[in-house]
A and B are shown apart, each in its own frame.
Chain A
């Protein structure tokens, strides 16, 4: 929709050109959320596209994803990933876990989704499960790093200071090599995630990681040295996720989300336990 209060668009070649930050500024990534709701407090859009950051950079250490990488580019990576990245199919699973259509992920960015910090953010699910580390660029000061699971602090809330940029997300190669299990539930077909759970297991050390997203206000990650027993897993979920942390919105009720979390967590445990 038209953002009627916007008075100017700035298209910097380098992020440093935006030295000072004012209320009413907004970074513009794909624009698919910004243009989908009234933004009456925004008067200036600052275009991230003009920074021309390379989207994806694979190294021996893992994968560097620029925040401006389009969702569609990550989706395509699934088939181009090195063969020992056993977790690569998760790219596709997660890209296809948006409610939005493929036409929107032609424009929407990975960073935009993470910064939105919505419970149903599938790029959060993906990068959190694959132990991603965000690099943040404050407006003044040195870049800092933070794990994706800690980046999101609540529904539509995160650690970014005003004007601070999410520059990139690094997925370490050890995580990309893990075996995984994926579960998602939606109230309508191909709809918005009600719960999205991803389990991974390290082929070398057997470490088991369960990442609970969409059903909870923020991503929750449970770490086990080995695949736990069913009761241990259930207890760990209960300890980590009090009922008040389950989301109540039109895409699901807290009770159902908790119920599905138990159900799918157990399925994932069983699947990765074999």
Chain B
């Protein structure tokens, strides 16, 4: 058959059941992406004879004789297509994984079609941006500002990764061809709780192309945790690489490696496994009752599991002040129980790894991760090898949101490559993301608040039951976090909390943007409104009376001191903004008709800028012979924009153009150690390291300049990418050449995540609720955020917009559903909907004017927190509109309509 792809002709024979997406990729065009492989996300969009199609659904044989165009064929003679340029100008991407499909779809639209983007983009999902920047790009609106020396901080500089992203030349984890590569697939448990009594592998091994089968008998019998934390003691060692007990539907049972994916899958189907079925438990409260099935019995102190008999990994209990007295002094008390379901990160690039060995007996691990250094150490531990024998790296990572703070694919690829000597690749399917990756922790939270007549809080109490699923990865940090920031948001002398992290026979929970703070914030912020209502106090006034103030200690339930501090305070500005914006009359008006009820709601949050446990990073910075700089730091870039921000900080310190600072991809061979990019540490820790390294380099450069020019240091300065010595100017190249000690031109600085400053935010919604159908329309969405100095306004807005969109999804409709056997019933984007363009309104955003004493150039992180107040602000708006308090998420029409029937 004959194919024309991007103007080149190929004679090639696709496999009979092959789709166009993999066929094009097999020919080396990696710009075509897979987000779902099922027609739902659009990442694979290509043109066939000029018409856009989802290449994952298109039978390859049908493209015979036709003209295929992919993103990599869109530029003509090196000149970008106008839509590619528009995406660059608006920076309409974060991780960039959806971009290929977005551009191929957008570039196919007529001017008329562009007027109805909700409709024309409904087949293209983006989890990062919240779609605003994409809309801007399509309408030709540019946000990028010029990169001028000395103006790097506070400027909307383009991400240096933009060009490869919009041309399809960015290489994500799977975008390489390696000679002799084997494919790995796993057989997953069909049972929620079962012991394996036998596995027969003969039939699987007889499949042509199958090279090996691995079961629990073939792996190191070493307990570990998939959670990626530098201090691994915070998580239980409760997991085996492959186990003889399955604790959730979807758990790995055996791995098959083969020459092709087809053979590996066939091998999995032919494995014969005998199971002894065990009783399963799916509810966290039931799991704690006497007689409940025990998931990890026999593992205890060594695994750091507190009470395996009651399935409790960890119980936390603490009190400051005297809560009982606080409630006795209250004029009004509110108590309510709130529930949040299991939801998925839905980053567009699924988990995946490629591993291979080199003759120097090192193992190279190309992987989609937020924590390369921790993965390296974990692999060393699991395989009983030295850390230096592992090389872990990524080029482009297609989103994370916490999901990639976990070791889910690296270990088996390494095992298989060690056993077979061949490179091994494993790419999760979209369904595996739902059934076998991690999720947000479902929580049931009871909050009790007491206040005096004037609204002053007298006591706050919280009881949290967190469902960690079958394994305890992140369970401890999450349960601690759930008793932290949302209580610390309020000043109150008496606070008490109890938290249980509980095992159930469900897909494990893990790290998720908002890490353990989103769930309690929903409960606390709804409860604050309810208490205000009891007292007849306006929700804004209630918050002003009680919210944490600039001089306050940051404390929740623990009576001992902590390193949380307020480096700058802008919560008041954020709340004022939200109140004024909601009252301004901006936004949409309520739809016509008595059925529609209008309401507004607000929620606030104070979020710590780093996790309470160990966090450290290191930055290396050098002046290069050509007068440009090189910066090396271990932060992972997965759409968070952190590397651009880091370049800007360094450029700002050195009065240079950001473009004069080169950075590597994240790579444990090249970057210094970093404990991982999560919990806002990219900004608060690693970027602080960058600032310190840049400061140090600046000092050294000035010292050298003074030596070289014999002008006192005080009269030397860096400006406009050059050095000024009195009235003489030296280029950086000249400085490099003249420098007597080249070592001075390389510096290194370490930082440790303490003290931890606090970021603040407030979110508001004005909505309309249809009292009959239960439909909710967002009329206005506003967020005020105090992130100190805004290093890059465009990127910062993008982070807020993306997080708000994710928040709207999980508030209004996202939910993993399970059947009675514990199987996920909606493990696809078809049935687990994430927000599409049509679901997301534009939000009004505001940044408070503050300067953080501890953050890099006064900045505080803003990627994590913007999701946190979204759900309660919506819950409060619904309560305002209808008088009805809904206690559980999501607020989808089919879950709220029956209670609305009370309304006349």
Contacts and interface: CB of A to CB of B under 8 A. Distances in A.
B300 interface: no
A91 interface: no
A103 B54 contact: yes
A39 to B, nearest CB: 8
Contacts of B105: 103
Interface stretch (A146-154, A186-194, A201-209, A231-239): A186-194
Nearest to A42: B17
Contact of B42 (A1, A49, A103): A103
B52 interface: yes
A2 B57 contact: no
B453 interface: no
Interface in A4-19: 4-9
Contact of B17 (A2, A49, A107, A189): A2
A263 B894 contact: no
A185 interface: yes
Report which residue of A9, A42, A250, A256 has the largest number of chain B beta carbons within 10 angstroms of its beta carbon: A250
Contacts of A144: none
Interface in B870-904: 892-895, 897-898
Contacts of B893: 185, 187, 194, 256
Given A101-B123, A103-B54, A107-B58, A3 B894 contact: no
B416 to A, nearest CB: 19
A31 B836 contact: no
Chain A interface extent, by class: 35 or more
Report which residue of A9, A36, A37 has the largest number of chain B beta carbons within 10 angstroms of its beta carbon: A36
A194 B122 contact: no
B17 A255 contact: no
Interface stretch (B259-267, B547-555, B695-703, B848-856): B259-267
Contacts of B265: 4
A235 B597 CA distance: 30
A8 B831 CA distance: 31
Interface string B10-26: 00000111110010000
A185 B773 contact: yes
B261 A35 contact: no
A106 B18 contact: no
Given A187-B892, A190-B836, A45 B831 contact: no
A32 interface: yes
Nearest to A35: B57
Interface residues of B, number: 61
Contact of A101 (B16, B122, B825, B894): B122
Contact of B894 (A31, A189, A253): A253
A260 B62 CA distance: 42
B225 to A, nearest CB: 31
Contact of B56 (A4, A35, A189, A256): A35
B196 to A, nearest CB: 23
Is the contact region of chain B dominated by helix, strand, or loop, or is it mixed?
loop
B54 A189 contact: no
A194 B831 CA distance: 12
A5 B893 CA distance: 41
B120 interface: yes
Nearest to A249: B831
Interface in A162-210: 185, 187-192, 194
B894 A4 contact: no
A130 interface: no
Contacts of B19: 1-3, 35
Interface string B111-147: 0000000111111100000000000000000000000
Interface in A22-63: 28, 31-32, 35-37, 40, 42, 45, 47, 49
A28 B42 contact: no
A96 interface: yes
A28 B59 contact: yes
Report which residue of A42, A103, A107, A259 has the largest number of chain B beta carbons within 10 angstroms of its beta carbon: A103
Report which residue of A7, A31, A37, A101 has the largest number of chain B beta carbons within 10 angstroms of its beta carbon: A101
A224 interface: no
Contacts of B895: 253
A104 B836 contact: no
Contacts of B53: 103, 106-107
B151 interface: no
B17 A4 contact: yes
Contact of A250 (B42, B266, B832): B832
Contacts of B839: 188-189
A104 B772 contact: no
Contacts of B39: 32, 35-36, 100, 104
Nearest to B53: A103
Nearest to B833: A188
A100 B813 contact: no
A252 interface: yes
A99 interface: yes
A40 B17 CA distance: 11
B59 A35 contact: yes
Interface of B: 15-19, 22, 37-40, 42, 45, 51-54, 56-59, 61-62, 105, 118-124, 260-262, 265-266, 269, 429, 772-775, 812-813, 815, 817, 825-826, 830-833, 835-836, 838-839, 892-895, 897-898
Given A35-B56, A185-B893, 5 more contacts: A2-B18, A101-B121, A102-B123, A188-B839, A256-B774
14 contacts: A1-B56, A3-B19, A4-B261, A6-B15, A7-B16, A35-B56, A35-B57, A101-B54, A101-B123, A102-B119, A188-B833, A192-B830, A249-B825, A249-B831
